[in-house]
Amino acid sequence: MGPSQRLDDDLPSGRVASLTVNYDGTTVIEPSPLGITTYVGQFVTSLSLEDTTVKTIKQQYETVGGDKSGQQTLHARLGTLTFGSPNGSLQLELLVSNEGIAYRYQLPGEGHILVDKEVSAFQIPEGSTAWLHSYNNRYESVWEGTDVASASGTFGFPGLFEVTDDAYTLLTEANVDGNYCASHLAVNGEDGRMGDDAPREESLVGEENDRDEIIPENEEFDYDENPRLFELRFAGQEGYGLPTIVDSSLPLETPWRVALIGDLSSIVESNLVAALSEPPQVNDTSWITPGIVDWSWWSDGDSPRDLEIQKQYVDYAAEQGWEYTLVDRGWRREWMPELVDYANDRDVEILVWMVWTDLNTERKRETLFSRLKSWGVSGVKIDYMDSDRQQRMQWYDEVLAATADHELLVNFHGSTLPKGRRRTWPHLLTSEAIYGAEQYKWEEVPASHNVVLPFTRNVVGPMDYTPVTFSATGDNAETTIGHELALSVVFQSDLQHFADSIESYQEYPLAEQFLSEVSAVWDETTFVSGTPEEEATLARCDGDQWFVGSITAGDSQTVNLLLSFLPDDQQYTMRLISDADDGTALTSREQTVTADETVSVDIAENGGFVARLWPSR
């Protein structure tokens, strides 16, 4: 059953419109304020509902890569509420589907418009559990669980909330482009203070538009007193502590404010963020090929400067059957054409690192992209954008258009969170926006962080975590070899960068063989079992093969692998690779299985396992 919908037209004078969402008899979002304020006035109070239309939509679209590549369908109900106010007209679009709900504001007319803020917020029921990460403009912080009332400060999208055992809400946004800025969440703690990194921002359009003054004598929506009201915040101006003012034109459509709703299976398998984004701007996608990438920088930061080392990584990619080699910061112009020719002779393609400031004008983009294309480079990893402001959203649009023109694949690092752009620009194959394996080089990464990501960050788009770093275990990583190997399946990225050295993979022949077989492109993904911070087990289909990855955090345990994702009436051969007793080596076993079986796997502390299943002859 999907979220329920009721449109009320009795809005008393001085009160705000609000949104309440019920799922299967449970209120998952309590009454939450709606509204937007601009330099021409606020659209929050003194609204009168003038018209309501509701229609059923069936939207078919296609995605390249992701958890499920190919044809997709969105079934939903779409309501449009038209409000009148002293400052003009406001339309609220509300979409309800079996995956969740989404809404956005529309301001009609023509000309220039400045948007100060939105009064959009989500009131989470008391007693809920939250999994959140502190906001920074690279989305690189550790995910942690807490009770919702104790959360205080600013948090990056997405945010996951458990209301009951079978009712979850994942908050995020979709279809953010250069007409707007990206946003995040802010909440007061029980002590009534924001976190130290999130000072209370003053309105830039006058006291009459202060949030609390817009909602007079309305304690239900008092932003200063409600520790469970997660309010939307625009990106700040870096270094100044001031909110962004959106500078756009009419008619204006804001990004979608999205709440995925359901059990954990429906959250993990959702594709609603992509569905809510604009149709593809690339007509011919035949040149867009997801794949596995090897990469030398993680294990040796100086190696991208060395042509001979890069050739070794090309050779290894060819041996493993991987599609790409990424040459990171430090590569040399004088030898790059030679490396590309060397790689292409071995059916390997080259991706290269770049810094975004080298691409911040049309002239720079044309010069550099034309040069890379003339050498035969297949794609670019662009780094250090580090901003959610509108100007950077405009830059993303410009770069994606330019790379599409030159048929160059894109990987964004130091980037904003994926918010559906991969549908609009299908050559955007992955983004970082994650506290990933590079952190193992200088920080401690708890295993529990990894076990939150399949339920949160990876739900909203491909995630360039750069996994499978065996040589990090026992240092800044708490994880076992089996856990690291399982990340190749559990974490989805259309350019899946395996980060460790050639020698590290050769040290574990069982893992090396599995990594030569696993895919980066999936026909189907099934959530099998798990809970954030404890266990995540996923099964992914590639043709007639299935791959399973399972990771855990905490004490050693037994995971019961239900094989019901397999087709009925078909026997499969399963090769399962798991930790040896101490988690520093691997062991394997092979058996014949069917869909009605359950396989028990003993897991080491912070461990994991993988399995490959193919039809028995």
Q: Which of 421, 395, 563 is nearest to 66 (CA)?
A: 421
Q: Is residue 197 part of a domain?
A: yes
Whether 383 is catalytic is yes
DSSP secondary structure code for residue 365 in this structure: H
Distance CA(490)–CA(479), nearest Å, equals 14
pLDDT at 42: 94
The number of folded domains in the chain is 1
| pLDDT of 244 | 83
The continuous run of DSSP H or E covering 363 comes out as helix 362-375
Q: Is the residue at 550 inside a domain? A: no
pLDDT of 241 > 70? The answer is no
Q: Which of 229-243, 305-319, 466-480 shows the lowest mean pLDDT across its residues?
A: 229-243
Q: Record the tokens describing residue 562, joined without a space.
A: 């239900």
pLDDT for residue 389 is more than 50: yes
CA distances from 312 to 315, 325, 340, 375, 507 (A): 5, 10, 13, 20, 17
Residue 346 belongs to some domain of the structure: no
Query: Is residue 377 pLDDT above 70, yes or no?
Result: yes
Q: Which residues, 6+ apart, have CB-to-CB distance to 301 below 8 Å?
A: none
| Nearest CA-CA partner of 401 in 369, 372, 433, 430 | 369
DSSP label at residue 200: P
Do 455 and 422 contact (CB within 8 A), yes or no? no
Alpha carbon 439 to its chain centroid, in Å, reads 18
Q: Is residue 246 part of a domain?
A: yes
Could you confirm whether 210 is annotated as catalytic? no
User: What is residue 211's predicted lDDT score, i.e. its pLDDT?
Assistant: 42
Q: Looking at residues 219-224, what average pLDDT do you find?
A: 52
CA angle 320, 325, 326 (to 5 degrees): 145
Could you tell me which residues are beta bridge partners of residue 398?
A: none
452 three-class SS: helix
In a domain, 310, yes or no: no
Q: How far, in Å, CA of 211 to CA of 457, rounded? A: 30
Terminal Cα distance for the chain, rounded: 40
The answer to whether position 56 is within a domain reads yes
Is the four-CA dihedral 484, 485, 488, 490 of positive or negative sign? negative
The pTM is what? 0.94
pLDDT in tens, 349-361: 999 999 999 999 9
Among 118, 438, 484, 535, the active-site one is: 438
Residues 307 and 310: their CA atoms lie apart, in Å, by 5
Does the pLDDT at position 395 exceed 80? yes
Q: Give the model confidence (pLDDT) of 32-59 as tens digits.
A: 999 999 999 999 999 999 999 999 999 9
Residue 262, C-beta contacts closer than 8 angstroms, at least 6 positions apart: 23, 98, 99, 100, 167, 168, 270
Domain of 156, in residue numbers: 18-275
Describe the crossing of helices 362-375 and 336-344 by its angle, rounded to 10 degrees: 50
Quick check: helix, strand or coil at residue 585? coil
Supply the pLDDT for residue 582: 83
270 in a domain, yes or no? yes
Q: Which of 14, 36, 19, 32 is nearest to 226 (CA)?
A: 32
Q: Among residues 167, 135, 393, 178, which one has the least CA distance to residue 259?
A: 167
CA dist., res. 181 & res. 200, Å (int)? 19
Q: What's the confidence (pLDDT) of residue 62?
A: 87
Give, to the nearest 10 degrees, the angle between helix 307-320 and helix 336-344. Answer: 20
DSSP-assigned letter for residue 278: P
Closest CA to 276 of 104, 108, 395: 104
| Average pLDDT of the residues of the chain | 91
Q: Is residue 267 part of a domain?
A: yes
Give me the percent of the chain exceeding a pLDDT of 90. 85
Alpha-carbon gap, residue 329 to 350, rounded angstroms: 14
pLDDT digits (tens, 9 = 90+) for 252-267: 999 999 999 999 999 9
Among 451, 74, 430, 454, CA closest to 273: 74
pLDDT band at 617; cut points 50, 70, 90: confident
3-state secondary structure of 511: helix
**Per annotation, catalytic residue among 116, 140, 383, 432:** 383
* pLDDT tens for each residue of 104-118: 999 999 999 999 999
> Does the pLDDT of residue 463 top 80, yes or no?
yes
Mapping DSSP onto H, E and C, the string for 303-362 reads: HHHCHHHHHHHHHHHHHHCCCEEEECCCCCCCCHHHHHHHHHCCCCEEEEEEEHHHHCCH
E strand map for 208-267: 229-234, 236-237, 242-243, 246-253, 256-262
Query: For 174-209, how does the pLDDT look when each residue is reduced to its tens digit (9 = 90+)?
Result: 999 999 999 999 998 543 333 333 333 333 333 333
- For the segment 353-377, the average pLDDT, to the nearest whole number, is 98
The pLDDT tens digits for 293-343 are 999 999 999 999 999 999 999 999 999 999 999 999 999 999 999 999 999
pLDDT category, 477, cuts 50, 70, 90? Answer: confident
